[in-house]
């Protein structure tokens, strides 16, 4: 073993014998250890960004409550309330995703351990199983904290740009999160690539569900509206899945037919990735909010959690529509494109929400608590 280099030192191993009990995984498959270490790193980064979002939101709320302008706290102004509420909603979504993925990986690890597999192998399988979700959380969490630190500087005004205040440091430190553990662009490409690879290997069935969506498009739409608690929200999430299946399935089919090379169509993959992110975030929020509805004791009245969910779904519906449309017009044309665009309009019909009042409700909860309140 030798050490080479001057200012930066590198360690090289030559003819070093490693005891059998110290070998990680299988010989010749060390790359699997490295890849899944990245998956865990992406999960941790996304979770840390969610935690940082809580802290930054608290700083923004406290300043909005104490800063007086025109004889009143700037938190009284609708423009500031919008920022506070949006910081909270996006952070709540990232936090919901991190809770969900954590539980999913724990369950997978426990199941593998129960089968007699080692701790290391169990961890490896859990990280590999939820690699797509880890990438989703990494991308979403890092972009949420970037939004939060940016709005925090804006709320602080001029002093937010001064290094004497924490707003400037948070703004500067946040930027790296979109780069390490794989850039957000790489992670977006990876999540779609892994989804399609699993489908090709038969590990994940997207062909039959995608075909079912195609058949639904050729049938008469139902005029019935869902009934029951969170029925509209469940329908919205279900429709998001249909949109993802429609777009990704159609693109994959055209690739199999030799009409499209997705390796050269990164814009389409980015559209699909953003739809996956919105889908997973919406479903995670829905699960969490619905569980909270059964709790007697919680930080806020249920209507506040419902407001966050409704605003997120309202906005996500618009994003899904744009991403789906952008993807479809990039590879389809003629009658096929018309059919797909009809599907976009058919599946994205979450009822209109008074987002102004809902956001003001969320902002009021923050301002009354003078800190993160959920």
Instruction: Give the model confidence (pLDDT) of 125-134 as tens digits.
Output: 999 999 999 9
Of 95, 143, 181, 283, which one is the catalytic site residue? Answer: 181
Asked if pLDDT for residue 36 goes beyond 50, the answer is: yes
Sequence-separated (6 or more) residues with CB below 8 Å from residue 278: 240, 316, 319, 320, 323
Name the one residue in this structure whose structure tokens are 């599907």. Answer: 343
Average pLDDT, the chain: 92
Paired residues of 2 in beta bridges: 12
Is 233 catalytic? The answer is no
CA gyration radius for the chain? 23
Asked if pLDDT for residue 5 goes beyond 50, the answer is: no
Asked if pLDDT for residue 159 goes beyond 90, the answer is: yes
pLDDT band of residue 7 (cuts 50, 70, 90) is low
Side-chain half-sphere exposure of 30, counting CA atoms within 13 A: 4
Could you give the CA distance from residue 16 to residue 209 in angstroms, rounded to a whole number?
A: 51
| Parts of the chain belonging to CATH 1.20.140.10 | 29-184, 189-369
Helix (H, G, I), strand (E, B), or coil: what is residue 228? Answer: coil
| pLDDT recorded at residue 17 | 87
pLDDT band of residue 238 (cuts 50, 70, 90) is very high
CATH of domain 189-369: 1.20.140.10
Q: Could you tell me which of 280, 273, 255 has the C-alpha nearest to residue 104?
A: 280
CATH class of 29-184: mainly alpha
| pLDDT recorded at residue 217 | 84
Q: What percent of the chain has pLDDT over 70?
A: 97
Q: Which of 132-136, 195-199, 347-351, 365-369 has the lowest mean pLDDT?
A: 195-199
pLDDT 10s digits, 189-214: 999 999 988 887 888 888 788 888 88
Sequence-separated (6 or more) residues with CB below 8 Å from residue 13: 1
| pLDDT recorded at residue 294 | 96
Could you give the CA distance from residue 303 to residue 286 in angstroms, rounded to a whole number?
A: 13
Q: Which of 97-106, 218-227, 300-309, 341-350 has the lowest mean pLDDT?
A: 218-227
Could you give the CA distance from residue 63 to residue 67 in angstroms, rounded to a whole number?
A: 6
Q: What is the pTM of this model?
A: 0.91
| 20 against 33, higher pLDDT | 20
């Amino acid at each position: 073993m030798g050490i080479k280099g001057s200012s930066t030192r590198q360690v090289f191993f030559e003819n070093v014998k490693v005891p059998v009990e110290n070998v990680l995984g299988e010989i010749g498959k060390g790359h699997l250890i490295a890849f899944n270490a990245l998956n865990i790193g992406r999960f941790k980064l996304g979770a840390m960004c969610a935690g940082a979002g809580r802290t930054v939101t608290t700083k923004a709320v406290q300043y909005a409550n104490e800063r007086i302008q025109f004889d009143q706290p700037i938190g009284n102004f609708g423009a500031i309330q919008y920022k506070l509420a949006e910081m909270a909603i996006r952070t709540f979504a990232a936090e919901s995703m991190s809770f969900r993925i954590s539980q999913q990986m724990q369950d997978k690890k426990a199941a593998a351990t129960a089968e007699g597999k080692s701790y290391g192998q169990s961890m490896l399988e859990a990280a590999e199983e939820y690699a797509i979700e880890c990438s989703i959380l990494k991308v979403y969490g890092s972009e949420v904290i970037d939004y939060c630190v940016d709005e925090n500087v804006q709320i602080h005004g001029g002093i937010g740009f001064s290094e004497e205040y924490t707003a400037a440091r948070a703004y500067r430190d946040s930027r790296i999160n979109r780069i390490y553990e794989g850039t957000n662009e790489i992670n977006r490409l990876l999540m779609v690539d892994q989804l399609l690879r699993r489908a090709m290997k038969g590990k994940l069935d997207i062909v039959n569900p995608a075909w079912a969506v195609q058949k639904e498009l050729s049938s008469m739409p139902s005029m019935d509206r869902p009934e029951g608690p969170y029925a509209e929200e469940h329908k919205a999430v279900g429709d998001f899945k249909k949109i993802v299946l429609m777009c990704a399935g159609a693109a994959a089919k055209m690739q199999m037919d030799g009409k499209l090379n997705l390796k050269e169509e990164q814009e389409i993959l980015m559209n699909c990735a953003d739809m996956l992110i919105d889908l997973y975030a919406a479903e995670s929020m829905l699960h969490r909010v619905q569980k909270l509805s059964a709790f007697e004791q919680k930080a806020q009245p249920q209507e506040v959690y419902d407001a966050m969910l409704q605003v997120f779904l309202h906005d996500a519906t618009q994003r899904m529509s744009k991403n789906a449309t952008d993807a479809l017009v990039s590879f389809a044309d003629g009658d096929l494109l018309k059919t797909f665009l009809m599907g976009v309009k058919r599946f994205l019909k979450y009822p209109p929400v008074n987002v102004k009042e809902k956001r003001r409700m969320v902002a009021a909860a923050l301002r009354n608590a003078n800190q993160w309140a959920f």
